[in-house]
Amino acid sequence: MKTALYLFALILVLGSFSERDRQKYTLDGTWELIDQYTYDGTHVTDTIPNNDGYRQIKMYNSGRVMWTRFVPKDSVDWFGYGSYSNTDSTLTETLEYGSASMMKIIDSMRVFKFELHLEKEFFQQITVDEEGHKIFSENYRRLH
């Protein structure tokens, strides 16, 4: 009986550590896009690395998001600003303002919803279709 009680107590303690660790993960901070994936609905079919000085940064803080993209071979400015909310598995960004090129998109689509995979130093925002199949992801690492 004591063994069963100790085993039960150990399971409770280990379970509480993993729950506590998950709660520590937050989007608040600065993130850099490291690459992008395309999917066949479930599995990654291609990895698209950042090339030729391409850089995309996202900053999250207290429910606000701002992002910027630099493409050396493109003279078009890309940035956006708005609010965000997330759960353990979803990310919703609602953009309010952006560069001229982004405002054209914001005029027709203001809310962006993603599947979210969040770790301490890495996150993925995954675009899914109406049936929940994965299409595309942006993969970020935390900047310090």
Number of DSSP helices (H) and strands (E) in the chain, helices first: 2, 9
> Angle at CA 85, nearest 5°, toward 82 and 87?
160
What architecture is domain 26-143?
Answer: Beta Barrel (2.40)
User: Would you kindly state where each structural domain of the chain is located, as residue ranges?
Assistant: 26-143
| pLDDT band for position 52 (cuts 50, 70, 90) | confident
C-alpha to C-alpha distance for 136 and 7, rounded to whole angstroms? 43
Mean pLDDT, to the nearest integer, of 47-64? 95
pLDDT beyond 60 at 9: no
Dist. CA 118–CA 126, nearest whole Å: 11
Phi and psi at 25, nearest 5°, equal: -70, 130
Distance CA 58, CA 54 (A): 14
